[in-house]
Amino acid sequence: MDKEKSKIEADKPVFEEGKQYHIECKPGDLKGPVFLPGDPERAKRIAESWEEFKEIATHRQYYSYTGKVHGVPVSVTSTGIGTPACEIAITELLNIGCDTFIRVGSTGALQPGLELGDLIINTGAVKLEGSSVHYVPETFPAIANYEIVLALIEACESLGYTYHVGIAASSSSFYLGQGRPGYNDYKISKTDTIVPDLQKMGVLNMEMEASHIFTLGQIFGARTGAICAVYANRVTNEFGTLGEKEAITAANYAVKILAEMDEEKKNKGTKYWHRM
């Protein structure tokens, strides 16, 4: 066994210079807010939309790039699908000093009037996943940071995009956990009630990561938010991969707005952003 590797602790697998085991990034590698798409290929497309970027690491499903957009430092790390993989990414990103995270993903719309390709900005999320319960009680709320929510709203307004604001539901399961049949049309009794119940509650959309991102942000004082393109319409039973470009463009513009917010707070000596 390599002598250096033998010194690594099993409960904290961190390598030389603080390089993280899964994301293979170390402190200083990633600058600015970090976008969190699930898909590694989306991470690459996000980076390619910036004025400049460089690849930092590609290990397993965790692809990381850093660069600049609108003249502002920004990074991206793909999380893979679901909250277990997302927990790893965020924990290791926090370990290297990142403190602002925006999920840029796809989602299924639950309410009438939401069309394929529309954008959804989430203010909070129902926890239907099994990861956050290892950190907090089930009653602990999963809430997005208001500055990121406002920045995403302003970005969509400025760009003229159709968007909606509200609560998501995050499930660890893509099939039965989101009210879809599994293999051979397998279901159990609660499968058919998940979507109707969430619709009655006014939940806008279902996805697979936001609740854990929001929860970890609240625990560790990081700013978190989410903007997703509607790929699935659970009301009309339609599916189409529309809106990714718009979600990326809006997130990029929101980074510029966040930088302006932070500068205003610094100049005014305030902790929280407000109209000044």
| Residues ≥6 apart with Cβ < 8 Å to 103 | 35, 36, 37, 209, 210, 213, 224, 225, 226, 227, 228
Q: What are phi and psi of 263, to 5 degrees?
A: -65, -40
Which of the residues are catalytic?
Answer: 22, 92, 180, 234
For residue 133, the one-letter residue type is V
State both tokens at 63: 């692809």
Q: Tell which residue, 210, 7, 205, 222, has the closest CA to residue 93.
A: 222
Sign for the CA dihedral angle at 249, 255, 260, 261 comes to positive
State both tokens at 137: 């009680």
On whether the CB atoms of residues 275 and 72 are closer than 8 A, the answer is no
Distance in angstroms (rounded) separating the CA atoms of residues 34 and 22: 16
Ranges of beta strands (E only) in 70-180 are: 72-77, 100-109, 119-128, 142-143, 163-171
Q: What is the largest CA-CA distance in the chain?
A: 61
Pairing, β 119-128 against β 238-239: unpaired
State both tokens at 25: 């990034």
131: left (phi over 0), alpha (psi -120 to 50) or beta: alpha
